[in-house]
A and B are shown apart, each in its own frame.
Chain A
Amino acid sequence: MRKIDRRIFLGGLAAAGAGMVAGSNVVLAQPASGAGSIDVHHHFASPYWMRTADGISPSTMGIWHPWTPQKSIAVMDEGGCQKAIVSVTTPGISFGDNAQTARLARDSNDYAAKMRSDYPGRFGFFTALPLPDIDATLKEIAYGLDTLKADGVGMFTSYGKYYLGDPIFDPIFDELNRRKAILFVHPTSAQCCAGLLQPQITDADIEYGTDTTRAIAHLIMSGKTIAYPNVRIIWSHAGGTMPYLQWRFMRETRNMPKYPDGRQPTFEDEARKMWYDTAQAAVAAPMSAITKMIPMSNLLFGTDYPYNTVKDIRDGLANCGVFNADQLAQIGRGNAVALFGHG
């Protein structure tokens, strides 16, 4: 009884943030922290990755010192978040040595699995993939999804000059399609555009969002969303800048590939089949735009921790004037439960 009370209390806190009230039997079915939000865009750093990336890209790594899983938990608790699906972030794990990349992927995945077991119910993870090595990536997909039971896999928007619609990625999409896997896509400093406006304007400000738009456009225009319809894709940061370019993409419809039965989809038809997280976009302008283009059911709560706190994004969504309480609850939790099949 005491334990249930605690659950209800914490659930209540979380529910206040998400704008929902969970029934007591729902609360009973939940882990100790109650029916709070699910953060699909939450980063972690294994000690091995931190050491390696420190030596290669020290300026991007400052934010991680120090970081522990407990810091994530504290930020999640503060922001009413039950569970975070963790993923690796920039500068990624590919530094030009395939063997090292494979080790970094395996170590990151094992580390994330340990976080999950150390804090039951608080973490899930997207399997890090050792791209651009395709064979190693196929092995890691099997290890991540079969052995570690990860929630999905994570990829970056571009690898050097290759965007996600490029044929070199076909074996990976084939495998993800066969498995009906969830693919979380995160941007990186694109090869074209790293440091263009430094120091005043960081790559994260403009280039990340743009590279996400490029990857979305390339994947759709190359016909991959039609060829691999079972891959369920989550795009970071509300799709980068894609919704703002709606007119441009609408007019590309005539250049779009067709469905197998010969029907001509629009760009928007394909864009609406994918999911978009709220990280770095929890403010009026981008949220007003994305809700004009993408169904509410395909918006997922994401924070981009440690670059934002969970509370930053929760408050941004609540205050942006675009969503009612039901919609906030849907974004905070319901849509993710529907996508992942569990809370």
Chain B
Amino acid sequence: MSAAFTINRRNFAVGLAAAGAGVALAPSAVRSQPAGRIDVHHHFASPYWLQVVDEVAPATAQLWKKWSPESSLASMDAGGAEKAILSMTTPGLAIDNEHMRRLAHDANEFAAKVRSDHPGRFGIFGALPFPDVGACLTEIAYALDTLKCDGIGMFTSYGKYYLGDEIFAPIFAELNRRHTVLFVHPISPACCTNLMAGITDADIEYGTDTTRAITRMVFSGSTVRYPNMRVIWSHGGGTMPFLEWRFMRESRNPAWKDAHLPDAFIGEARKMYYDTAQVAIAAPMAALTKMIPLSHILFGSDYPYLSVKENVDGLATCGVFTPDQLAAIDRTNTVALLGA
């Protein structure tokens, strides 16, 4: 009985989702496969984290005071998203180093409660209290073993450290051992906060910091050393695809032979995954699809900075994708990666 009820509920949710995707599904297809979108880039705020953010960055906190799990669900329903994988966003956890372990742990437990309150609608990329590497390893075990998170979330840089630096080796070794999905989000980098009046860090610096982290990961040899850690980069890889020529030529630099890149930079870049948040428009999508296999492009919204529907409409109208490709980006590619 309860199974039948579940199936009916799915049918309802799928119908909504299908309307958003502009796809007409036959009833049999609906029963065998709930076809809603999966949003891999969707943020949340635990009350404790919000309280700390409100103290250190009150302007940022304003956006989050309007957020609730229900506001996420409303945006997901409007945009045809069946499920969102929740992750933390800027300003991250380094806002309170003293209580960072508690911030991360609390955020992960809060996300797990949101997930259990709304079955089937949410997943989680667990937060880590870096730079306490020992605490990160403990939290990885808790997030993945106890909370059954879908993966781990990290930021592109932590002060002067970029992902791929030696300091991350124990974390990556553990994620590699577990075949974990790592979702990477940018942050206002230490170098480049408020450089220019009238232009936010999000406009240029977030994308750039993502590019820095990607290149550090690749040229440090980390993608070769930890092949089972499957990395999702935010925002279509920041600005990385636009700099294809530079990295193509850097791969020929004899100084980097120690990175052991049998497939050069591009080959490594193609093994990783990229979400569509903040890039659901013609120029970046045309570039990304020239460099990265379509199967590695995942739907992401960056909610609450953008609504789910804005991203859906952007992808549908950018002129780069066929309906089949949109369906793959919306769901199939993510199911293949997360097994969800």
In the complex, A227 Cα to B250 Cα: how many Å? 40
CB distance from A237 to the nearest CB of B (A): 9
Q: Within 8 Å of chain A (Cβ to Cβ): is B256? A: yes
Which B residues are CB-close (under 8 A) to A161?
195
A339 contacts B by Cβ under 8 Å? no
1/0 per residue, CB under 8 A from A, across B219-252: the answer is 1100000000000000010010111111110100
Q: Which of B73-81, B126-134, B199-207 contacts A (4 or more CB under 8 A)?
A: B199-207
Residue interface mask B258-291, A partner, CB < 8 A = 1: 0100000000000000000011111110111111
The contact string, 1 if C-beta is below 8 Å from chain B, for chain A 267-311, is 000000000000011111110111111000000000000000000
Residues of A within 8 A of B247 (CB): 205
Contact A244–B287 (Cβ < 8 Å): yes
Size of interface on A: residues with Cβ below 8 Å to B: 48
Q: Give the nearest-CB partner of B250 in chain A.
A: A205
Contact in complex: A284, B280 (CB < 8 Å): no
Interface residue B119 (Cβ < 8 Å from any Cβ of A): no
B246 shortest CB reach to chain A, Å: 5
- Chain B residues within 8 Å of A204, by CB: 246
Q: Is B196 an interface residue (CB 8 A)?
A: yes
For residue A217, CB closer than 8 A to chain B, the reply is yes
A206 in contact with B282 (CB, 8 Å): no
Q: Are B284 and A247 within 8 A (Cβ)?
A: yes
Give CA–CA (A286, B290) in the complex, Å. 9
Q: Kindly list chain B residues whose C-beta atoms are within 8 Å of the C-beta of A17.
A: none
Identify the interface centre among A238, A243, A288: most chain B CB within 10 Å of its CB.
A288
User: Total interface residues on B, using CB and 8 Å?
Assistant: 47
> Does chain B have a CB within 8 A of A214?
yes
Whether A209 and B204, one on each chain, are in contact in the complex, defined by CB atoms closer than 8 angstroms, is: no
Decide: A246 near B196, CB < 8 A? Known: A201-B212, A252-B203: no
CA distance A316 to B242 in the complex (A): 14
Q: How far is the CB of A43 from chain B (nearest CB, A)?
A: 17
A213 contacts chain B at the CB level, 8 A cutoff:
yes
Instruction: Contact check, A201 vs B244: say whether CB atoms are below 8 A apart.
Output: no
How many angstroms between the C-alpha atoms of A248 and B306 in the bound complex?
11
Tell whether, in the assembled complex, residue A248 and residue B215 are in contact, meaning their CB atoms are under 8 Å apart.
no
Residue pair B204, A201 in contact (C-beta under 8 Å): no
Chain B residues with Cβ below 8 Å from A283 are 244-245, 248
Q: Digit string of A241-264 for contact with B (CB within 8 Å is 1, else 0)?
A: 101111111101001000000000
Cβ of A13 within 8 Å of any chain B Cβ, yes or no, is no
Q: Does A193 contact B (CB under 8 A)?
A: yes
A23 within 8 A of B: no
In the assembled complex, B1 has its CB within 8 A of some CB on chain A: no
- Tell me the bound Cα distance from A165 to B279 in angstroms: 25
Q: Is the interface of A mostly helix, strand, loop or mixed?
A: helix
Task: Tell me whether B196 and A293 are in contact (CB under 8 A).
Answer: no
Cross-chain contact B242 with A243 (CB below 8 angstroms): yes
B207 contacts across to A, CB distance below 8 A? 241, 244-245, 248
Q: Does B255 contact A (CB under 8 A)?
A: yes
B212 contacts A247, CB within 8 Å? Answer: no
Q: At the interface, yes or no: B20 with Cβ under 8 Å from chain A?
A: no
CB of A293 within 8 A of CB of B283, answer yes
Chain B positions within 8 Å of A29 at CB level: none
A214 touches B199 (CB 8 A): yes
Contact partner of B239 among A210, A217, A255, CB < 8 A? Answer: A210
Q: Which residues of B contact A218 (CB under 8 A)?
A: 196, 198-199
A238 to chain B, nearest CB (A): 8
Q: Which of B215, B282, B290 touches A246 (beta carbons < 8 Å)?
A: B282
Q: Which chain B positions have C-beta within 8 A of A193?
A: 191-192
Q: How far is the CA of A245 from the CA of B236 in the complex (A)?
A: 10
Q: Which of chain B's residues have a CB closer than 8 A to the CB of A210?
A: 204, 208, 239
Q: How far is the CB of B146 from chain A (nearest CB, A)?
A: 36
Contacts of A66 in B (CB 8 A): none
Contacts A200-B219, A245-B239 known; 10 new A-B pairs at CB < 8 A: A193-B191, A200-B216, A206-B208, A214-B195, A246-B279, A280-B246, A281-B242, A281-B244, A288-B290, A292-B282
Q: Which 9 A-B pairs have the closest CB atoms?
A: A241-B239, A289-B287, A292-B282, A244-B242, A288-B286, A285-B287, A284-B290, A289-B283, A246-B283
Residues of B within 8 A of A (CB): 162, 191-192, 195-199, 202-204, 207-208, 211-212, 215-216, 219-220, 236, 239, 241-248, 250, 255-256, 259, 278-284, 286-291, 314
